[in-house]
Amino acid sequence: EDQVTQSPEALRLQEGESSSLNCSYTVSGLRGLFWYRQDPGKGPEFLFTLYSAGEEKEKERLKATLTKKESFLHITAPKPEDSATYLCAVQAANQAGTALIFGKGTTLSVSS
């Protein structure tokens, strides 16, 4: 069964304290792995898509990496405005229209 597990469930950081969020997945052939950010009361906001092991993508203080079994979202020198829930999702390789399979998310709180 295709599955996505995110850890930790919640993470508290001080401003400037770098850390990583983990997304472990099992899928019958990976078409793509997606990271989204979700603020309270809003829909998920797209961050990154990764397609193959070894791929990395960066945006401001965020860097996403991918291996054959997991993905990491590295947050460097976070700021309070980075506080949000970060969602990881995978799409199986069988067809392009396949719905995303989401993890439950990691809720990040950054205090100043």
How many other C-beta atoms lie within 10 A of the C-beta of residue 8? Answer: 12
Q: Does 1 bind another protein (CB under 8 A)?
A: no
Q: Which two tokens stand for residue 33?
A: 């792995």
Residues in binding contact with another protein, number by CB under 8 A: 24
Measured from the CB atom, is 6 or 78 closer to another protein?
6
Q: Which stretch binds another protein (CB under 8 A): 14-22, 63-71, 74-82, 86-94?
A: 86-94
Whole-angstrom Cα distance, residue 58 to residue 86?
Answer: 15
Smallest distance from the beta carbon of 103 to another protein, in angstroms?
A: 6
| DSSP code of residue 28 | S
Measured from the CB atom, is 76 or 98 closer to another protein?
98
Q: Does 89 bind another protein (CB under 8 A)?
A: yes
Quickly list DSSP for 36-76: EEE-TTS--EEEEEE-STT-EEEETTEEEEE-SSEEEEEE-
Considering only residues 37 through 76, tell me which ones interact with another protein, judged by CB under 8 A.
41-46, 49
Q: Which residues contact 112 (CB under 8 A, 6 or more apart)?
A: 15, 80
Q: Does 87 bind another protein (CB under 8 A)?
A: yes
User: Which residues would be at the binding site for another protein (CB under 8 A)?
Assistant: 4, 31-32, 34, 36, 41-46, 49, 87, 89, 91, 96-97, 99-105
